Amino acid sequence: MKLVVLSVVFAVLAAMGNATASVLQRKAARRQPEDDSLSVRILWDLAHQPAWIGGITAIVIGFAFQAAALATGPILLIQPILVVELAFTLLLSGFVFHSRLRAREWTAVAGMSVGVALLLVAFAPGGGDPRQASVTAWALGCGVTVAVVGTLVMLGYRARHARRAALLGIATGVWFGFTAALVAGMTAAFEAGFGEAMRSWQTWSILVVGPLGFVLLQNALRAARLVASQPGLTLANPLSAVGWGVVVFGEQVRDGAWIIAQVGGAALVAACTVLLARSPLLQGTEGDTEGATEDERDHAESR
């Protein structure tokens, strides 16, 4: 029980770190020229922004907490908690961009919290072990993930603006779920000793998978407004993790009538995610309300 509580605390801290990174990166990206093209070059441009450097630091801290959470709890417990990152992003955006939260935002934050809690109770994940996953299961999971993300990126490259952001957001969420699975495999290997972890292919794969996910995220955030990319990014991550936890790691969840509660929790989280992503407060991180006068912000939030 103590490990479960500890893993939940680590997951919440990881969500807070990711939210801080999101706000700081949007603050830095806003100072760059509008560009919806897929390009690694944007990293060089953003690297000159102090806010972006702060965002990178927050990402590292969030990743460390996520690794600690996955080392002490199942992936099906950790990844759904990370959905509250969007709520933390909203709260932090209000502070950074000097905007007020209205009843709609507070309702969505509360609803998302209830939805996540309902999911965790309904799932009650148990069992499963990344170390016991077969080579075939790992290969199948990796192959399907790469194929799905590759297809989404290709479709995103052919699209523009909001459609591109939505597709890249989903691709990034799926990729983050994949990254979490690799981290779970790495932390499980560490339990057998440092030498075993260094011989684990998951440990070295993270050095490639992590940066690729970061590039995907940057391009998704720059393709269009946050309302286009954030819902897919937020929801695809736990969905990907569910697939990895159940199919690859063999984790078990409640069935029967609990499926109704699982669907209800997921629907509530999805609805609140869309509501939060449409908030003018989050859109303000893209420049709609940042730096505006109080009257201008009130007008933007009333739309």
Res 56: pLDDT: 84
Q: How many CB atoms lie within 10 A of CB 194?
A: 9
pLDDT tens, per residue, the chain with 303 residues = 677 788 899 999 999 998 888 778 777 655 555 554 445 566 666 666 787 788 889 988 998 999 999 988 889 889 888 888 888 888 887 777 677 778 888 888 899 989 999 998 998 888 778 888 999 999 999 999 999 999 999 999 888 888 888 899 899 999 999 999 999 999 988 887 888 889 899 999 999 999 899 888 878 877 777 667 877 888 888 889 889 999 999 888 888 889 999 999 989 988 888 888 777 766 554 344 444 444 444 444 444
pLDDT recorded at residue 208: 93
252: how many CB neighbours lie within 10 A of its CB? 16
Q: Measured between alpha carbons, how far is 234 from 237 in angstroms, rounded to an integer?
A: 6
Cβ atoms of 109 and 281 within 8 Å: the answer is: no
DSSP 136-149: HHHHHHHHHHHHHH
Write down the pLDDT at residue 43.
63
Tracing tokens 């790992």 back to the chain, one arrives at: 138
For residue 36, what are its two tokens? 């919806």
Residue extents of the structural domains in the chain = 2-301
Query: Whole-model pTM?
Result: 0.78
Q: Is residue 145 within 8 Å of residue 175, measured between CB atoms?
A: yes
Q: What is the pLDDT of residue 287?
A: 41
